[in-house]
Amino acid sequence: MEIDEERAEVFIRAHSKGFPEYLEVLEKEARQQDVPVIRKGTQELLRFLLCLKRPKNILEIGTAVGFSTLLMAEYTGADTKITTIENYAPRIEKAKKNFVAYDKDGRINLIEGDAGEVLKSLDDKYDLIFLDGPKGQYEAYLDDILRLMPEGALLITDNIFKEGDILESRYAVERRDRTIHARMRDFLLRLRDEESLESVILSSGDGATLSVKI
Ligand SMILES: C[S@@+](CC[C@H](N)C(=O)[O-])C[C@H]1O[C@@H](n2cnc3c(N)ncnc32)[C@H](O)[C@@H]1O
Protein backbone atom coordinates (compact mmCIF):
# COMPACT_ATOMS: atom_id res chain seq x y z
CA MET A 1 0.00 0.00 0.00
CA GLU A 2 1.27 3.48 -0.91
CA ILE A 3 1.56 5.87 2.02
CA ASP A 4 0.30 9.37 1.37
CA GLU A 5 2.99 11.63 2.83
CA GLU A 6 0.70 14.52 3.65
CA ARG A 7 -1.71 12.24 5.49
CA ALA A 8 1.20 10.75 7.38
CA GLU A 9 2.33 14.25 8.40
CA VAL A 10 -1.17 15.13 9.64
CA PHE A 11 -1.35 11.81 11.47
CA ILE A 12 2.02 12.38 13.13
CA ARG A 13 0.92 15.86 14.21
CA ALA A 14 -2.28 14.42 15.70
CA HIS A 15 -0.28 11.90 17.73
CA SER A 16 2.55 14.19 18.72
CA LYS A 17 3.08 15.44 22.23
CA GLY A 18 3.49 18.81 20.59
CA PHE A 19 6.28 21.30 21.11
CA PRO A 20 6.50 24.38 23.32
CA GLU A 21 4.49 27.34 22.07
CA TYR A 22 7.53 29.44 21.04
CA LEU A 23 8.81 26.66 18.78
CA GLU A 24 5.40 26.24 17.16
CA VAL A 25 5.33 30.02 16.53
CA LEU A 26 8.87 30.06 15.12
CA GLU A 27 8.06 27.16 12.81
CA LYS A 28 4.91 28.86 11.56
CA GLU A 29 6.71 32.16 10.94
CA ALA A 30 9.52 30.38 9.10
CA ARG A 31 7.10 28.53 6.83
CA GLN A 32 5.20 31.75 6.10
CA GLN A 33 8.49 33.36 5.03
CA ASP A 34 9.52 30.35 2.93
CA VAL A 35 12.41 29.53 5.23
CA PRO A 36 13.02 25.77 5.05
CA VAL A 37 12.84 24.17 8.48
CA ILE A 38 12.72 20.52 9.51
CA ARG A 39 9.37 18.82 9.10
CA LYS A 40 7.32 17.43 11.97
CA GLY A 41 8.62 13.89 11.44
CA THR A 42 12.22 15.08 11.68
CA GLN A 43 11.39 17.22 14.71
CA GLU A 44 10.01 14.16 16.47
CA LEU A 45 13.00 12.06 15.42
CA LEU A 46 15.45 14.69 16.62
CA ARG A 47 13.70 15.07 19.97
CA PHE A 48 13.70 11.30 20.45
CA LEU A 49 17.39 10.95 19.54
CA LEU A 50 18.38 13.85 21.79
CA CYS A 51 16.60 12.23 24.74
CA LEU A 52 18.20 8.88 23.93
CA LYS A 53 21.73 10.08 23.28
CA ARG A 54 21.96 13.06 25.66
CA PRO A 55 24.75 14.73 23.65
CA LYS A 56 27.01 17.27 25.31
CA ASN A 57 28.52 18.90 22.25
CA ILE A 58 26.36 19.33 19.14
CA LEU A 59 27.31 20.65 15.71
CA GLU A 60 24.64 21.75 13.25
CA ILE A 61 25.31 22.59 9.61
CA GLY A 62 22.51 24.83 8.30
CA THR A 63 21.00 27.10 10.96
CA ALA A 64 18.47 28.96 8.79
CA VAL A 65 16.64 31.08 11.40
CA GLY A 66 17.58 28.82 14.30
CA PHE A 67 14.43 26.72 14.58
CA SER A 68 16.11 23.29 14.75
CA THR A 69 18.92 24.77 16.84
CA LEU A 70 16.45 25.96 19.46
CA LEU A 71 14.61 22.65 19.31
CA MET A 72 17.91 20.91 20.11
CA ALA A 73 18.54 23.37 22.94
CA GLU A 74 15.05 22.69 24.29
CA TYR A 75 15.65 18.95 24.56
CA THR A 76 19.17 18.98 25.97
CA GLY A 77 20.49 19.97 29.36
CA ALA A 78 22.22 23.11 30.57
CA ASP A 79 25.62 21.43 30.07
CA THR A 80 25.11 20.85 26.34
CA LYS A 81 26.77 23.26 23.90
CA ILE A 82 25.48 23.76 20.37
CA THR A 83 27.55 25.15 17.52
CA THR A 84 25.63 26.00 14.36
CA ILE A 85 26.80 27.25 10.96
CA GLU A 86 24.98 29.50 8.46
CA ASN A 87 26.17 31.66 5.56
CA TYR A 88 23.07 33.54 4.41
CA ALA A 89 23.06 37.02 5.99
CA PRO A 90 19.29 37.64 6.27
CA ARG A 91 18.83 34.29 8.02
CA ILE A 92 21.85 34.90 10.28
CA GLU A 93 20.27 38.16 11.41
CA LYS A 94 16.95 36.46 12.18
CA ALA A 95 18.67 33.53 13.90
CA LYS A 96 20.61 35.94 16.13
CA LYS A 97 17.35 37.62 17.19
CA ASN A 98 15.78 34.26 17.92
CA PHE A 99 18.77 33.15 19.98
CA VAL A 100 18.70 36.38 22.01
CA ALA A 101 15.00 35.75 22.68
CA TYR A 102 15.04 32.03 23.41
CA ASP A 103 18.59 30.79 24.11
CA LYS A 104 18.37 32.02 27.66
CA ASP A 105 21.48 30.30 28.98
CA GLY A 106 23.69 31.20 26.01
CA ARG A 107 24.47 27.63 24.94
CA ILE A 108 24.28 28.31 21.20
CA ASN A 109 27.31 29.50 19.25
CA LEU A 110 26.43 30.70 15.74
CA ILE A 111 29.34 30.64 13.31
CA GLU A 112 28.81 32.81 10.25
CA GLY A 113 30.39 31.54 7.07
CA ASP A 114 30.59 28.88 4.43
CA ALA A 115 30.12 25.50 6.09
CA GLY A 116 32.87 23.89 3.99
CA GLU A 117 35.41 26.45 5.21
CA VAL A 118 34.17 26.49 8.78
CA LEU A 119 34.24 22.68 9.05
CA LYS A 120 37.92 22.67 8.06
CA SER A 121 38.72 25.14 10.84
CA LEU A 122 36.96 23.19 13.62
CA ASP A 123 38.89 20.75 15.78
CA ASP A 124 36.54 20.01 18.67
CA LYS A 125 34.79 16.64 19.01
CA TYR A 126 31.01 16.52 18.64
CA ASP A 127 28.87 13.66 19.90
CA LEU A 128 25.97 14.66 17.66
CA ILE A 129 26.18 16.31 14.24
CA PHE A 130 23.05 17.46 12.45
CA LEU A 131 23.72 17.93 8.75
CA ASP A 132 21.00 20.10 7.21
CA GLY A 133 22.91 22.48 4.94
CA PRO A 134 23.52 22.59 1.17
CA LYS A 135 22.39 19.20 -0.14
CA GLY A 136 24.96 19.08 -2.91
CA GLN A 137 27.87 19.35 -0.47
CA TYR A 138 27.19 16.49 1.95
CA GLU A 139 29.72 14.17 0.39
CA ALA A 140 32.32 16.95 0.25
CA TYR A 141 31.82 17.62 3.96
CA LEU A 142 32.06 13.99 5.04
CA ASP A 143 35.82 13.76 5.64
CA ASP A 144 35.75 16.74 7.99
CA ILE A 145 32.61 15.48 9.68
CA LEU A 146 34.25 12.09 10.32
CA ARG A 147 37.30 13.84 11.75
CA LEU A 148 35.05 15.69 14.22
CA MET A 149 33.19 12.55 15.38
CA PRO A 150 34.56 10.47 18.26
CA GLU A 151 33.56 6.82 18.56
CA GLY A 152 29.86 6.56 19.41
CA ALA A 153 29.04 9.94 17.87
CA LEU A 154 25.84 10.24 15.87
CA LEU A 155 25.43 11.89 12.49
CA ILE A 156 21.88 12.81 11.43
CA THR A 157 21.28 13.93 7.87
CA ASP A 158 18.00 15.42 6.68
CA ASN A 159 16.25 15.62 3.28
CA ILE A 160 18.22 12.87 1.59
CA PHE A 161 15.35 12.13 -0.83
CA LYS A 162 15.17 15.77 -2.03
CA GLU A 163 11.39 15.72 -2.48
CA GLY A 164 11.64 12.24 -4.01
CA ASP A 165 14.12 13.16 -6.75
CA ILE A 166 16.88 10.95 -5.36
CA LEU A 167 14.67 7.88 -5.67
CA GLU A 168 14.25 8.50 -9.40
CA SER A 169 16.70 7.67 -12.15
CA ARG A 170 19.05 10.51 -13.08
CA TYR A 171 17.20 10.91 -16.39
CA ALA A 172 13.83 11.35 -14.71
CA VAL A 173 14.93 14.49 -12.86
CA GLU A 174 15.24 17.96 -14.37
CA ARG A 175 18.62 18.56 -16.01
CA ARG A 176 19.46 21.38 -13.56
CA ASP A 177 18.92 18.97 -10.61
CA ARG A 178 21.19 16.22 -11.94
CA THR A 179 24.38 17.38 -10.23
CA ILE A 180 22.73 17.42 -6.84
CA HIS A 181 21.11 14.06 -7.66
CA ALA A 182 24.50 12.50 -8.41
CA ARG A 183 26.13 14.08 -5.37
CA MET A 184 23.45 12.93 -2.95
CA ARG A 185 23.66 9.40 -4.33
CA ASP A 186 27.46 9.51 -3.93
CA PHE A 187 26.98 10.63 -0.35
CA LEU A 188 24.62 7.74 0.41
CA LEU A 189 27.01 5.25 -1.19
CA ARG A 190 29.85 6.64 0.89
CA LEU A 191 27.81 6.28 4.06
CA ARG A 192 27.16 2.67 3.08
CA ASP A 193 30.81 1.94 2.32
CA GLU A 194 32.42 3.93 5.12
CA GLU A 195 33.99 1.39 7.46
CA SER A 196 33.98 3.68 10.47
CA LEU A 197 30.20 4.22 10.26
CA GLU A 198 27.13 2.08 10.72
CA SER A 199 24.28 3.83 8.91
CA VAL A 200 20.58 3.46 8.28
CA ILE A 201 18.30 5.28 5.84
CA LEU A 202 14.91 6.28 7.20
CA SER A 203 12.13 6.90 4.71
CA SER A 204 10.02 9.13 6.96
CA GLY A 205 9.47 12.74 5.89
CA ASP A 206 11.88 13.68 3.12
CA GLY A 207 14.25 10.90 4.10
CA ALA A 208 16.98 10.97 6.72
CA THR A 209 20.06 8.99 7.58
CA LEU A 210 21.43 8.06 10.96
CA SER A 211 25.08 7.07 11.22
CA VAL A 212 27.01 6.06 14.28
CA LYS A 213 30.81 6.13 14.42
CA ILE A 214 32.07 2.66 15.32
C1 LIG B 1 17.29 23.40 5.29
S2 LIG B 1 17.95 24.90 5.82
C3 LIG B 1 18.30 24.61 7.52
C4 LIG B 1 17.06 24.50 8.35
C5 LIG B 1 17.30 24.42 9.85
N6 LIG B 1 18.22 23.36 10.18
C7 LIG B 1 16.00 24.21 10.59
O8 LIG B 1 15.42 23.13 10.46
O9 LIG B 1 15.56 25.14 11.29
C10 LIG B 1 19.57 24.90 5.15
C11 LIG B 1 20.37 26.15 5.46
O12 LIG B 1 21.71 25.95 5.02
C13 LIG B 1 22.21 27.20 4.60
N14 LIG B 1 23.36 27.02 3.72
C15 LIG B 1 23.36 26.69 2.41
N16 LIG B 1 24.60 26.62 1.93
C17 LIG B 1 25.43 26.90 2.97
C18 LIG B 1 26.84 26.95 3.12
N19 LIG B 1 27.65 26.71 2.09
N20 LIG B 1 27.33 27.27 4.33
C21 LIG B 1 26.53 27.52 5.38
N22 LIG B 1 25.18 27.46 5.31
C23 LIG B 1 24.64 27.15 4.12
C24 LIG B 1 21.01 27.84 3.89
O25 LIG B 1 21.16 29.25 3.81
C26 LIG B 1 19.85 27.39 4.75
O27 LIG B 1 19.48 28.38 5.68
Above 90 in pLDDT, residue 182? Answer: no
Q: Where are the domains of the chain?
A: 5-213
Q: Is 115 in the pocket of ligand 1 (CB under 6 A)?
A: yes
Interval between CA 53 and ligand 1 midpoint (Å): 24
pTM of the model: 0.94
Give the pLDDT confidence of 25-57 residue by residue, as tens digits: 999 999 999 999 999 889 999 999 999 999 999
Distance between CA atoms of residues 104 and 120, nearest Å: 29
Q: Is 98 in the pocket of ligand 1 (CB under 6 A)?
A: no
Give the pLDDT confidence of 92-144 residue by residue, as tens digits: 999 999 999 999 899 999 999 999 999 999 999 999 999 999 989 999 999 99
Distance between CA atoms of residues 126 and 128, nearest Å: 5
CATH topology of domain 5-213: Rossmann fold (3.40.50)
Q: Are 139 and 190 in contact (CB under 8 A)?
A: yes
